[in-house]
Chains A and B, each alone.
Chain A
Amino acid sequence: MVHQVNSGHPGGSLGCTEFMVALFFEIMKKNKNFDMDGIGEDLFFLSNGHISPVFYSVLSRSGYFNVEEMNTFRKIDSRLQGHPTTHEGLPGVRIASGSLGQGFSVAIGAALTKKLNKDKCLVYSLHGDGELQEGQNWEGIMYASANKVDNIICTIDNNNRQIDGDLDKVLDLGDIKSKFEAFGWNVLNIEEGNNISKIISVLNQAKSMCFKGKPIAVILKTEMGNGVDFMMGTHKWHGVAPNDEQLQIALDQNPETFKDY
């Protein structure tokens, strides 16, 4: 889909594919039909909205809309905007994201409402590591522990890449785990963040830690562009589409791809 419109963000999408598949098909409790309020089901918020390709992929494969609609990605009159939005009414999306750093606050708000509604389901969110450079995150991180928002599991895609280069060269975040712990969170690491069975196991552990007075962060060590050799080990595929030849090489390296859109 990124290739088709010659725009979009393949690197982070590929890096988070295993996580998103695990979350949507193994971990989250979902109601059959989409409803914005999501009462009695787990909720997911994508804070790093630029990885919309993988988000739309799991949403369509979850049955929220037809897979064929993926062909409209980033085109005129599409519900699949470059960055996810509720504005066009795409089922599965509950907040617009793209301008970074806003997802923690939104997830916390939704978690507070779940508590008011006595809804025991959970709120999940995904954030880029570079995105943590935005100050609003830390306002939310501080709030969640101070107010015992213990029904959220927030995952950080820790690929150590951002547009201008390696994250520790652009603006080093230091030890992310220690930072979350210093803010009063329980933190779990997934060292092999592209290993689906490891992801499932840690997310299940995270679920078992909910409702115990602390919010939970999962640090997911991923490889940007995972599965496509020329996209790995560099920040250069953050927001660049592959050409015809590169697409063919990438697909050949991933024979299990559905290839139906």
Chain B
Amino acid sequence: MNKYTNQGSVDTRSGFGAGLYELGKTNDKVVALCADLTGSLKMNEFKNDFPNRFFQVGIAEANMMGIAAGMTIGGMIPYTGTFANFSTGRVYDQIRQSIAYSGKNVKICASHAGITLGEDGATHQILEDIGMMKMLPGMTVINTCDYNQTKAATLAISNHNGPVYLRFGRPKVPNFTETNQNFQIGKGLKLLDGSDVTIVATGHLVWEAIKSAEKLSKEGISVDLINIHTIKPLDIEIILESISKTGCIVSAEEHNIIGGLGESISRVLTQNKLVPMEFVAVNDTFGESGSPMDLMKKYKLDSENICVRAKKAIDRKSN
């Protein structure tokens, strides 16, 4: 079994900040907009070194989305930065009409996504954003798992012409993917080869899934593990190839069970090949205040629950 090593825990938002700063140096069409959260989004380096291409819009996210849409006219590539909650639900109509329907090349970069935002509580913990964004025609939806992958995704989306929703988070999490990796939009990554159960994880749940695969391996269960960073367009082939070998699947994500990655996968199964499927996700509730790790445990977004679900999926194969 392959081993993945934590190279040190870093927040994914810092990967975004590093990627954005690199783009500042290499692509003079990249501009950054922020709604009063420059420090939280790790946009300070870009702001300091490229002040002419940094736009502070204040606490006015709807205006930020519209300005970003307008800035594409004339060739700029705007990256907007705020929390995931204010990047999606608060400005859905602006994104829908001025960005998605208008086909504008805006990169909506959303930090503090999901329940691991932690202590601020449910007002800020959006668990519906993937659903809202993936429903928009033409929108690419990416949810990265660690610092290195977030940095690579931030760079890669500048070369994709069209609107992108890039989702990342607040807490420090293990950094385990390759430095300077080649990020391919829409391509799932096979982390482990196995034969008993497929686990497809996205975002912060990828590391939890690695831990669960190690635990399951000790019990003689072999996991085929896929890191899905792009939820739309979804890499259908890698999922179908895996389930043809394992015959069952578990999805794992820091999102509501309704509207997330798991739901997209279940549609793939329904249209192609039915196998038992289990979900690791928030079960249609709001979050609450608490430390990220306590919340992951309480809402069953951890390696323990992934193990439970994997075993259940395997059991259902024989029923």
How many residue pairs link A and B with beta carbons under 8 A? The number is 118
Chain B: minimal CB distance from A85 (Å): 6
* Contacting residue for A102 out of B57, B71, B76, B97, CB 8 A: B97
> Hey, which chain B residues are within 8 Å of A37, CB to CB?
73-75
Q: B interface, how many residues as a size bin?
A: 20 to 34
Flag the segment in A111-119, A164-172, A221-229, A248-256 that touches B: A111-119
Give the complex CA separation of A113 and B58 in angstroms. Answer: 19
Chain A: minimal CB distance from B77 (Å): 11
Query: Could you tell me which residues of chain B, from 62 to 76, have a CB within 8 Å of some CB in chain A?
Result: 62-76
Asked if B74 contacts A117 (CB within 8 A), the reply is yes
Interface of B is mostly: helix
> Hey, which chain A residues are within 8 Å of B73, CB to CB?
36-38, 43, 94-95, 109-110, 113
A135 interface hit (Cβ, 8 Å): yes
Flag the segment in A26-34, A138-146, A175-183, A188-196 that touches B: A138-146
Chain B: minimal CB distance from A182 (Å): 17
B102 interface hit (Cβ, 8 Å): yes
B312 interface hit (Cβ, 8 Å): no
A58 interface hit (Cβ, 8 Å): no
> Hey, which chain B residues are within 8 Å of A85, CB to CB?
101-102
Given A109-B69, A140-B66, decide whether A119 and B97 contact each other with a Cβ distance below 8 A.
no
* Contacting residue for B67 out of A97, A108, A114, A119, CB 8 A: A108
A243 interface hit (Cβ, 8 Å): no
* Contacting residue for A39 out of B64, B65, B74, B101, CB 8 A: B74
User: Which A residue's beta carbon lies closest to that of B60?
Assistant: A139
Please give the residue numbers on chain A whose beta carbons come within 8 Å of chain B beta carbons, in ascending order: 36-39, 43, 45, 85-87, 94-99, 102-114, 116-117, 119, 135-136, 139-140, 142-143, 147
The 27 listed contacts between A and B (C-beta, < 8 Å) are: A37-B74, A38-B74, A85-B101, A86-B102, A87-B102, A94-B73, A96-B98, A96-B101, A99-B96, A102-B94, A105-B67, A105-B70, A105-B94, A105-B98, A106-B69, A106-B98, A108-B66, A110-B71, A110-B73, A112-B55, A112-B67, A113-B71, A117-B74, A139-B57, A140-B63, A140-B67, A143-B58
